[in-house]
A and B are shown apart, each in its own frame.
Chain A
Amino acid sequence: MHRFANPNVFLRLSNRIMPWSTGVMIASLVAGLVFALGASPADYQQGESVRIMYVHVPAAWMALFIYICLAGASAVALIWKHPLADLAAKASSPVGACFTFIALATGALWGKPMWGAWWVWDARLTSMLILFFLYLGHMALANAFEDSERGAKSAAILALVGVINIPIIKFSVDWWNTLHQPASVVRMGGPSIHPSMLTPLLLMAIAFTAYYVTVVILRLRGEILARKIRALRMIRVQAESKGESGPYLREI
């Protein structure tokens, strides 16, 4: 396992993955948009407004999926102290926050014409808003402390505590009366979406997943570099305090 602790191993791996994830993202995004905006039928009840589903539902899936990844990375960081796990968690939470925001905002744009309200405080919508705050809290904690290790530890604990929200979001529509309709795809008895509408939904889900992989690799590289920069600066400060370096070191 600690073979992957070496950031250079990860970087070489990520160099292999990046072209693929970018390619899959662009291909499935183009195909998905063609189906979502034109080549799929309007709904028998909701008309053309059903096309909002093709960004709303995959974004909501990503919000949950990224949180599970975040919690997994946080557990690995807390238990096994894997040096990349903290950085992976720190790189993931802004992406998750963006997808949660997209799910909330497009849901409001869908709810206004269909339900007759931008927002209601039912169990599904409220638990999704809590997920958004969990992401924001994680981002704030991970950057809050001077000592980045303490920040990473408290952020990891927050991420693990917040896991309780995931089953609540998933099953809120089954456990309680909500305005939000029950699940259509991941449910007992198979999807209740016509295949012509399931196609754009799944294509967009693939595109969003590939987007997450691509962006998290970019951000993780950035976090690794930031850590290297900090290590180098520490070395330089130590060298300077020993009086071993001259004034020609430029301030960066």
Chain B
Amino acid sequence: MPNMFHMGEYAAFVWPAYGLTAIVLIGLFIISLRSLRQRQWVFAELKESMEETKTARQQPPAANDEPGNEWPDDDGPNSNGPGNSPKASS
């Protein structure tokens, strides 16, 4: 196509429209991914520290019987995001 990417007199309107769309969508994607990674890290740290407590005191694992804990903390298959290794940033 000879006129590919040729916007004529409307270049000043077409390119900002595409640029703005790209900035907003990529920005939201990065924000969402970053907040997920951060929470994965916090969660891994928290779980580790609580398990240390448990083993140190040799207490029966009462945590999962708590009535409010409907969210089992088995985070196995779902934490597959790259770079979510708990030690990565500590």
Contact = CB atoms under 8 A, between A and B. Distances in A.
Contact present between A and B (CB < 8 A): yes
A138 to B, nearest CB: 16
The binding surface of chain B is classed by DSSP as: helix
A101 B24 contact: yes
Nearest to A211: B25
Contacts of B28: 94-95, 98, 215
A51 B7 CA distance: 9
A250 B46 CA distance: 9
Contact of A15 (B5, B33, B77): B77
Nearest to A240: B53
Nearest to A229: B43
Interface in A5-23: 7-8, 11-12, 14-15
Given A218-B32, A225-B40, A252-B45, A49 B14 contact: yes
A228 B80 CA distance: 17
Contacts of B32: 215, 218-219, 222
23 contacts: A8-B77, A12-B78, A15-B78, A37-B18, A47-B9, A47-B10, A48-B14, A49-B14, A51-B10, A52-B17, A102-B24, A102-B25, A109-B17, A221-B36, A222-B32, A222-B36, A225-B43, A225-B75, A231-B69, A235-B66, A239-B53, A249-B53, A250-B49
**Which 3 A-B pairs give the minimum distances between C-beta atoms?**
A11-B78, A38-B4, A49-B10
Interface of A: 7-8, 11-12, 14-15, 37-39, 42, 47-49, 51-52, 55-56, 59, 83, 94-95, 98, 101-102, 105-106, 109-110, 112-113, 211, 214-215, 218-219, 221-222, 224-229, 231-236, 238-239, 244-246, 248-250, 252
